[in-house]
Structures are given as C-alpha cells and as structure tokens.
Amino acid sequence: MLRFTNTRTLQQTSLMKSFLRLQSTVTIPKMQKGVIFYETGGPLHYKDIPVPKPKANEILINVKYSGVCHTDLHAWKGDWPLATKLPLVGGHEGSGEVVAMGENVKGWKIGDLAGIKWLNGSCMSCELCESGHESNCEHADLSGYTHDGSFQQYATADAVQAARIPKGTNMAEVAPILCAGITVYKALKEADMRAGQWVCISGAAGGLGSLAVQYAKAMGYRVIGIDGGPGKEELFKSLGGEIFVDFTKTKDIVAEIQEATRGGPQGVINVSVSEAAISLSTKYVRPTGTVVLVGLPAHSYVKSEVFSHVVKSINIKGSYVGNRADTREALDFFARGLIKSPIKIIGLSELPNVYKLMEEGKILGRYVVDTSK
Ligand code: 8ID
Ligand code: ZN
Ligand code: ZN
C-alpha cells in the first residue's frame, strides 16, 4: 500500500508510474489521506483512500483546508430525517485548487482557486433551480452528506456550483465562509431589515454566529448576541457585537433583550442547536419582526403562542445556505476585509477531537483542518 503525506514527496520518489494524469500538467496521486466512516456514529478512520475521479460535469479540487461545521457532526451522528451516503467522507467548507476537470466543464482552468460548498450540485432545470432556489432542489447533491466532501485531500464538485475564490485569498480563513458565511449572510437578507435596526444572533459565539455578528455589522445593523460559557462574551465583543446575553446566567432572557433593544430586535437569526432557544426567540422578537430559523437541532419544533404571534404579527421563516449569487456576495464581503475568520487550524487527523468539543458546546468560532496533517 502506498503511504505518503503530500504530492511533493511522491514526485521525488520512483513511484511516478502509479500516478494518474488527468488532462493537465498537475500530478495527481491514486491514493490520498481522508477521514471516512463506514457506519453512522461509527469510528472515524484517518487513512489512505482512493482519489475520486471527476465526472464530465465536475472539477477535481486539491483541498488545502476545510472548516468543520456542526452539520458535519449531525451527518456523522445521523440525527436528521435524511439519510447520508455510506461510507462517507464529510466536510463542506473546503478551499483548494483545481487540478483536473471533466470534459464538459466550462469556465474553469487548472490552478484556479475553488471552494466546496454544502450544495455540491443541483438539477438546474426544475422551477426552484430556475428561480435561484437551487438549495431547495429535490435533486440537490450535498457535500459531506450525499457526496464525499472536503475531509480529504482531493474532492469533486459540480463545476456550476463550486465557489470561485479570488487569487491571493488566505485559503484557511476563507474556508468557513463557504458554508457558515454564505448561510448567515443569506439569513440576514431573509430577515428583511434596514440599517440601524437591531438583530439578535442566538448562538452568537459558534461557527455561524461569529460570522453572523460581523456580516450584520457590515450590513449596518446593531447586534445583540446570546450564547454561554467561557470566552464567548469576549469573542462576541471582539467581533463588534454590542450587547451580550449569557443564557447560562440570565434569569429572564426575554425581558433583558426587550429592555436592551427597547421593544425587541426587528430580526432574530437562530444559529444555536437548541429547540428551547428557538422557541424563545418568538417571544422577544419585536412586533412585525422576523425570526429566521437556521440551526437544525434534531427532532425539534418551533413553538410560537398563536395569540401573540397574530397580535404582534411576527414572521417565522427558514433559511437554507444560499445560491450562487449569495455565495459571490458573501465572498465579496470577506475579500473586502469586512469579515475576519475566527479560526483555529489543526490537522485533519484530529477531526474527532473537534466533534467532541462541538458536542460539548465548547468551540469558540470555527475549527479548520489542514488536509496535509
Ligand atoms: O443552511 C442552514 N440552515 C445551515 C447551514 C449550516 C449550519 C444550518 N446549519 C446548522 C448546523 O447544522 C447546526 O445545527 O446550524 C447549527 C449551528 O452550526 P454551527 O455554528 O456550526 O455550530 P456551533 O459552532 O456548534 O455553534 C452553536 C452555538 O450555539 C450555542 C453554542 O454555545 C454554540 O456557540 N448555543 C447552544 I448549543 N444552546 C444555546 C442556547 N440555548 C446556544 N446559544 C444560545 N442559547
Ligand atoms: Zn455547514
Ligand atoms: Zn432543481
């Protein structure tokens, strides 16, 4: 069995014959390192696995970094009412370089920087795809869920949906933008607010939350955040958040938020993984305001008391990642320096430790894995 850590080492050896060449000058190995699991909730193996071959419509990306999203934990635990492929390589915030492409690919060249998103591909011909709701497509193919994702050194992505990353971008820092950034930016748009209004980010110090605080600021909103545990308030304030509510210490969260915002925030972005926190947001939101559901706690329902829901005329809506335009716009905020990625970089082999910390709610910002380690 071949054992190696990167392509350069391979190039220097006599194993050149075992290389696969795909219409480029880039040398692509047959095997690579990845994290794979064979059964839901089963062991996570860091091992040599085959490099996938791009289909006619796909690009092959040499993944350098990948963010670790809470969705990856849901996929491994299998707690959503949607089956994953098995065995599965997770990950859907991958940043890297195009090293090969299928014969029908247009608009990409070898060496371009590309991103692997949650929405790997969709049919592009149904009514939802036609109207820019590609993530809601019945045939959506999902990275790290129904399609092997970015927790490997080489991954495939539909050329139409893959994110375009400008040359010169910091590849580790851009990774979380590819799911968390796009998702919170889209959710803030869905909240339909005006500059100067209050938005509450529930789950403000996690991966999505820490980016939501910054996108909200960049879009001109005032930010109140809810989270709990050591270091969370400090992170929230360092990202430009104005008022922090610690849910582990505050007795009456509704009263505190309504008082601080003089009547409640006009918008709420729910990125916590807590059913109770989501239902609470229907109580403190301002009359005529919008509650956006983003976090996906398993087996959960949002409970909103009908009388006040009607009399306050509040809106509750779901928001699911974003389309290609949202992707381009979210990346543009990042490229302009308005969004800082609060990341910790570790080796891909250490992925199981991240899942453990995530389960315990102990993560500040985002962990990003380096696929070479
Ligand atoms: O398109 C989408 N809708 C989408 C895209 C990406 C991710 C949805 N998600 C979902 C994930 O599947 C997950 O369910 O969003 C959720 C959050 O993902 P994440 O930001 O990657 O998770 P995290 O880094 O673990 O952060 C969660 C934060 O919530 C806080 C935790 O302390 C943590 O900081 N939190 C919890 I758990 N309970 C809370 C509570 N009661 C709370 N914050 C406030 N109140
Ligand atoms: Zn995600
Ligand atoms: Zn479609």
Whole-number percent of the chain with pLDDT over 70: 93
Neighbouring C-beta atoms of residue 16, cutoff 10 Å: 10
| Mean pLDDT value across residues 284-297 | 98
| Mean pLDDT value across residues 216-226 | 98
206: Cβ below 6 Å to ligand 1? yes
Distance between CA atoms of residues 349 and 55, nearest Å: 28
Distance between CA atoms of residues 7 and 307, nearest Å: 63
Run of H or E residues at 177: none
The set of residues, in sequence order, having a beta carbon less than 8 Å from that of 59 and lying 6+ positions away, is: 98, 100, 101, 102, 105, 108, 114, 156, 157, 159, 162
Give the residue among 88, 20, 92, 10 at the shortest CA–CA distance from 49. 88
User: What three-state secondary structure class fits 53?
Assistant: coil
User: What three-state secondary structure class fits 323?
Assistant: coil
Ligand 1: atom nearest CA of 228 is 32
pLDDT tens digits along 146-192: 999 999 999 999 999 999 999 999 999 999 999 999 999 999 999 99
Largest Cα separation within the chain, whole Å, is: 75
- Which listed ligand is nearest to 130 at the C-alpha? 3
Ligand 1: atom nearest CA of 74 is 12
The set of residues, in sequence order, having a beta carbon less than 8 Å from that of 61 and lying 6+ positions away, is: 94, 96, 97, 98, 99, 114, 116, 154, 155, 156, 157, 162
pLDDT tens digits along 311-369: 999 999 999 999 999 999 999 999 999 999 999 999 999 999 999 999 998 999 999 99
- Cβ neighbourhood burial of 279 (10 Å; 0-12, 13-18, 19+): middle
90: Cβ below 6 Å to ligand 1? no
Ligand 1: atom nearest CA of 276 is 41
363: Cβ below 6 Å to ligand 1? yes
208: Cβ below 6 Å to ligand 1? yes
- Which listed ligand is nearest to 158 at the C-alpha? 3
Choose the weakest-confidence range: 3-7, 74-78, 158-162, 203-207: 3-7
The rounded mean pLDDT for the chain is 94
pLDDT of residue 355: 97
Question: Ligand 3 centroid vs 327 CA: distance in angstroms?
Answer: 18
Residue 105 above 50 pLDDT?
A: yes
pLDDT tens digits along 24-63: 567 999 999 999 999 999 999 999 999 999 999 999 999 9
Residue 128 above 50 pLDDT?
A: yes
Domains of the chain: 16-179+322-370 (3.90.180.10), 182-318 (3.40.50.720)
296 or 8, which is more confident? Answer: 296
pLDDT tens digits along 4-29: 334 444 444 444 434 444 455 679 99
Per the CB < 8 A criterion, the answer to whether 151 and 89 are in contact is yes
280: Cβ below 6 Å to ligand 1? no
pLDDT of residue 2: 32
- Tell how strand 243-246 and strand 58-67 pair up: unpaired
Q: Which of the four pLDDT bands, split at 50, 70 and 90, describes residue 123?
A: very high
pLDDT of residue 26: 77
Which of 179, 233, 272 to mutate for ligand 1's pocket (most ligand atoms within 8 Å of CB)?
272
- Which listed ligand is nearest to 320 at the C-alpha? 1
Give 32's strand partners: 49
Return the C-alpha torsion angle 324, 218, 221, 72, nearest 10. 50
Question: Ligand 1 centroid vs 330 CA: distance in angstroms?
Answer: 19
67: Cβ below 6 Å to ligand 1? no
Residues with CB under 5 Å of ion ligand 2 are: 69, 71, 179
Per the CB < 8 A criterion, the answer to whether 370 and 349 are in contact is no
Distance between CA atoms of residues 138 and 209, nearest Å: 28
pLDDT of residue 11: 47
pLDDT of residue 193: 98
Q: Whose CA is nearest to atom 43 of ligand 1?
A: 203
User: What three-state secondary structure class fits 343?
Assistant: strand
Question: Ligand 1 centroid vs 9 CA: distance in angstroms?
Answer: 39
69: Cβ below 6 Å to ligand 1? yes
Residue 168's identity, in one-letter code, is: G
pLDDT of residue 18: 41
User: What three-state secondary structure class fits 288?
Assistant: coil
320: Cβ below 6 Å to ligand 1? yes
Question: Ligand 1 centroid vs 31 CA: distance in angstroms?
Answer: 34
Run of H or E residues at 115: strand 113-116
pLDDT of residue 8: 43
Run of H or E residues at 249: none
Global pTM value: 0.93
